[in-house]
Structure 1
């Protein structure tokens, strides 16, 4: 009963983590009404009048068509396996086995799993690195153009994947990046898991669909009033009719492979209700109120000297703990003991997600707690982070599916130089894949990892899995 007891426990004073509905405060109204009905009444199979994401008739098909029309998309599919499952669907719909796909280093691991499932060849491009925070920044159009040209010089690509906004609320110049990919005839799959609300207020960047992305995946628990695991895949309306039809068929084949045959009616309703509410007049007003609180909080924190990163999303508060002389993971542990639970701790930063209904007490309580944190743990700013020696463009030497499934041995990192990685390695910092299966561990990366072990004891594994000789 330990899990049930945890779920029934009184929440802490300040929950600044996902889902964005904030423990129910910002649930879409229709979804809230559903959850207040008799327990379990919504746990239904794909009855004819309900249908499912791949059915041509029924309430789900009607809701998907309405969502596509609402956002100006060609098609829309709801998912019950989170944005992770729909990113894999989009990837498999755009590329055939053996084809190369260009992805950024800050890709979600589900995309690596999608490459494995589809036997695709990932080509990873590096991103600008901020030494002060230890964070990767969005690609600039100029850097993306260089990576794209270099990748194409080595062989054809099937598709490009972009991530915007990032977990921390950093947004790329999407219209320019998408246009560059389209100049080469390449479709763009956008991981917009954290950006379902983009484009709905002048203070926010444009959405992926408005920027011309071909496929856009949104998580409806990260920036809308949906439940965890509810997500949506949109097909943009820019391509010609014949290509759109072929792509729709490919998406539905991939959905058939990767999504459950018994989708949760509750999660499908969550997708429909949260999208409809977010784009309604009431939903936009709710978003405006949340943005106003986020901007007011930022102002208060800046006035008391709390260093914050500039973000494109006022609902993501990225506190630069390194500038206060505090490891972000230690800051997170200290705050959690005092009832403030943030979303994402990293060595140089701590990101709080305000959600769509931030409690007004956040304006009073968070500044107080951060002042106390600085007095308790603060000091001289931490030394700058060293960028890992990642090549601008990297392609696994051994096919991903072979490296991941090959016999493996574990070696100390210092002894792994020259060997082929058999697992992803995502150290702190940076928290994105320094190595993916099939990449050879060069001497520079092995030496960098050994150095980071000394700087961050306990946060980087002593050993790494490599392909057995």
Structure 2
């Protein structure tokens, strides 16, 4: 058996997802369930238990209770991650052939939903942080520019998606942006996979949750930003712009008919944990510890980038001329395991567990890393993707995905239409989506990205034959 030893071995500081820190922060109720006889929790959709799409049973009661506690109309638990709920939400909002407004930092799951539903994405660019090569959240002034640049021909845009916060913990108050999009006639879905804790309502200056800012639909990953098991998520619905029957029909297309009772129990317990005094106190303590850790590391000379989520530490390796990918490779065998290596940074997810001695460990590892890569000049500023503010695809993603395709060398791909996603993972943000035509500037930019992303940017692209 090769898998079980890998699952149980020690991995140093677990600064990666799930946020429960390899069990250290699991809620008490879930711990008690897992201590019971092995497999006792592995149940089908018995009448008394029901399922996420059933009107009756314990799960339906749990979902109604969670929605009431959050102050929204409906919620549905999911057991195939935020991916399945995001896809179902988008398919419920937009009919085949209709347009949807998506930010360039959208997760690949929503591009895949466009393929599944024959939706026409209109992609909008985002502010770019050249010192780190990462997008920043859009504010109301930026969205106003986007709306002015939207295509005036063809089908209207029925829905819009926002990402709040980003993988690295960048966020702002999305209220004005959500309201402006709704005034434009859009139903608004917010991918808040990394921000469930924003909605917990603890006394800490976190950005507000999109749930409290009027979004129509919000998806939380309960393993990324709450203390649930991997694959768990929740979809929230409020307002009257979307019929919950449409949502349930879409969920029925993409959710398993045999959901894990253990994962559903994990959804409930993670949400209830923050309704209890103990859970809210633990979350506040983790947030305060994280802020103190960041301050201490900065004072020790460790370069951390500023963001809005204290539970994400972004090590700015590029300041020392080191890529995040090289730093990650060096840290891993030394017991410091991050979540997201990128060309100029390495993001650590502190999660909800306590990390004793982490300040000393990170400071020492950083100093040793500098000795291993000595006297390097800082990485130069990153080049923003050469994209217009708003882009429509040359073909629908569905057409491009299902068309005859061929492999073409990246250096020869100018003028071709992409047939597949080009998407470093993580973070899972597409650099190129099916149906996009590759102009010369973009093709050359992608070639330059190979210097930073290595083999995550392939030498050849799958393109539409004759496109």
> For 2:364, which of 365, 368, 376 is the aligned residue?
368
**Which residue number in structure 1 is paired with residue 64 of structure 2?**
65
User: Following the alignment from structure 2 to structure 1, what is the Cα–Cα distance between the partners of residues 187 and 274?
Assistant: 27
SS in 2 for 1:218: strand
Aligned residue in 2 for 1:162 = 162
| CA deviation map 1:95-148 (0-9, x unaligned) | 111110000011111101111111111111001111110111111211111112
Contact kept in structure 2, 1:84 and 1:110, CA below 8 Å: yes
- Counterparts in 2 of 1:64-463, with a 5 A limit? 64-151=63-150, 153-155=152-154, 156-199=156-199, 200-201=201-202, 202-236=204-238, 238-239=239-240, 243=241, 247-378=243-374, 379-426=376-423, 432-454=429-451, 457-463=454-460
1:208-255 Cα offsets, whole Å, 9 max, x none, are 11011000000000111100011100002x33xxx55xx200011011
Residues 1:457 and 1:356: Cα distance change in structure 2 (over 3 Å): closer
Determine if contact 2:149/2:389 at 8 Å carries over to the other structure: no
- 2-side partners of 1:67 and 1:100: how far apart? 32
**Which secondary structure state, in structure 1, belongs to the residue aligned with residue 122 of structure 2?**
strand
Change (3 A) 1:71 1:456: closer
**Is the contact made by 1:317 and 1:354 (CA closer than 8 Å) also made in structure 2?**
yes
Distance 2:276 2:227 in 1: 12
Residue-pair matches, total: 462
Structure 2 distance, partners of 1:222, 1:428, is 16
TM-superposed CA distance for 1:424, in Å, is 1.3
- Structure 1 pair 150–413 and aligned structure 2 pair: CA distance change class (3 A): same
Is the contact between residue 67 and residue 76 of structure 1 (CA under 8 Å) also seen in structure 2? yes
Deviations 1:374-394 (A, max 9, x none): 232252211111112122111
1:421 alignment partner, SS class: coil
TM-score in terms of structure 2 length: 0.96
Determine the C-alpha separation between the residues in 1 that align with 2:21 and 2:274.
15
- CA deviations 1:164-219 (Å, max 9, x no partner) are 00110001331111011111121100000001100423221111110110000000
Secondary structure (helix, strand or coil) at the match of 1:151 reads coil
Shift of residue 431, structure 1, vs aligned partner: 6.5
Instruction: Tell me how far 1:154 sits from its aligned partner.
Output: 3.8
Give the TM-score normalised by structure 1: 0.95
Confirm or deny: 8 A CA contact 2:107 2:428 kept in the other structure: no
* Partners of 2:189 and 2:217 within 8 A in 1: yes
> CA distance change for structure 1 residues 81 and 459 in 2, over 3 Å: closer, same or farther?
closer
Range with greater deviation from structure 2 (210-219 or 165-174) = 165-174
Contact (CA 8 Å) 1:19, 1:228: kept in 2 or not? Answer: yes
Q: Which runs of 5+ in 2 are unaligned?
A: none
Give the CA deviation at 1:433.
2.0
Structure 1 distance, partners of 2:153, 2:378, is 43
